[in-house]
Chains A and B, each alone.
Chain A
């Protein structure tokens, strides 16, 4: 290995822990909860106000709970229950979705960065 190889290796080995620390910690605080049902206009509400929402979807009502700056699916009339198992959402950018019932729950920070997220 030449000197350039060693320098590159040292730089990368130094940068990697920094990347882990930077990208895995310090989640951006979320302020808004956005609920999208089917193809309707997404509904946005404040995360600071505690409440339980019943959102209507093709399979029935999904129950979404907003409490102490967090949000989650409490119940959903789907088989997989992936949305409920996702648990509490806390940080900006986190998403829980019930695809069978076509309802998704997204948290946003002070400045929502994107109009839409597609996969």
Chain B
């Protein structure tokens, strides 16, 4: 049986491969705090969102989480559930952001929004499912500050990428 693939499928596969590579390279960086990582795979999601729209970005984001977890051996573990939850939250936030009238957000705004929604979603899930202790929220402001900074950084990188007009 031959599955017909479109040009868009190939593009999504290439971009996902790029996002997975970044995701895995980043997992090798030691983390000073649980949940504290730059989230540079976010850059790909933002760049795809700007170049090819929300649908492609959602595919890349979802496939990156699933394939990345298979490669790292965290598939269906709590890490995976948090990662998937974060992706769902940030893609939902980005969906609303793309529906804004007027100029809407730039790459930097998308980056911030995605990172903040990702962090908030993960915290809510971690609290509801894994660590039902109110003390967990004490980490939240610190990690949200980090998410804001890393979100801005990944937005700047995504903007630079889109300005370079990388042919995808």
Interface residues of A (CB under 8 A from B): 1-5, 8-9, 12, 16, 19-20, 23-24, 28, 92-95, 113-114, 117-119
In the bound complex, residues from chain A placing their C-beta under 8 Å from that of B148 are: 12, 16
In the bound complex, residues from chain A placing their C-beta under 8 Å from that of B112 are: 5, 8-9, 12
Given A4-B109, A8-B113, A23-B141, also A114-B132 (CB < 8 A): yes
Given A4-B109, A8-B112, also A20-B103 (CB < 8 A): no
- Given the complex of chains A and B, what is the CA–CA distance between A30 and B133 in angstroms? 14
Asked if B32 is an interface residue, CB under 8 A from chain A, the answer is no
Closest residue on chain A to residue B138 by CB atoms? A23
B49 CB to nearest chain A CB (Å): 14
10 residue pairs, one from A and one from B, having the closest CB atoms: A5-B109, A2-B103, A19-B141, A20-B141, A4-B105, A2-B106, A117-B133, A93-B134, A114-B132, A93-B135
A-B contact pairs, 14 of them (CB 8 A): A2-B103, A2-B104, A2-B105, A3-B103, A4-B103, A5-B105, A8-B105, A8-B112, A16-B141, A16-B145, A19-B140, A19-B141, A95-B133, A117-B133
